[in-house]
Amino acid sequence: MFFLQQSLYVAYLEYRVLLVVKLNLVNGVLFTGGWSKTGLYFDVIEEVFNQVLKKNDAGEHFPLLAICLDFELVTMIVSKINNILEAFSASDQASTLQFMNNINIEETLFQRFPSELVAKLSTEFLLMQNHKLRQDHVLKKIAACTDVFGRRAHMF
């Protein structure tokens, strides 16, 4: 049993070293969505996220974009809350996007959007909503849209 534990520990150390080496070969990370909120997948997402934080804390610009389930996982890691979703009914629904009053768009991903498009997002039904759950209470809100019952979901 000792040798098995020792070999697993060595394999884990090799994995961490390999992860750091691989992250040094790229200039950012994209989490495209996943399949699990627990186990090895979550552990790897958490480890990569922590390495990205270290790089940014050291002054290196190292962006991370997390989409769908992986955005949820990053939110869980940051907030230390595992049950962050609430009901939201917006299946196959077009909607507008309302920017929050206290948000400077120049500090968001919308900074490169043409001003005409940003204006249209608020007035025309250009967004396609297809969600049954929302995350609405952990991160800084930059914009919102509503479901068929008038409940708001926010963009972070």
pLDDT tens digits along 53-86? 999 999 999 998 888 788 888 888 887 877 766 6
Name the strand (E) or helix (H) holding 87: strand 85-95
Number of domains, the chain = 2
Residues 89 and 72 in one domain: no
Residues 117 and 149 in one domain: yes
What is the pLDDT at residue 152? 58
Domain end point (choices 37, 61, 79): 79
pTM over 0.95: no
Low-confidence ranges of the chain (pLDDT < 70): 1-13, 84-90, 130-156
| 68 three-state secondary structure | coil
What is the pLDDT at residue 54? 92
What is the pLDDT at residue 116? 92
Residues near 12 by Cβ (< 8 Å), separated by ≥ 6? none
Residues 49 and 104 in one domain: no
Domain extent for 151: 85-155
Residues 46 and 7 in one domain: yes
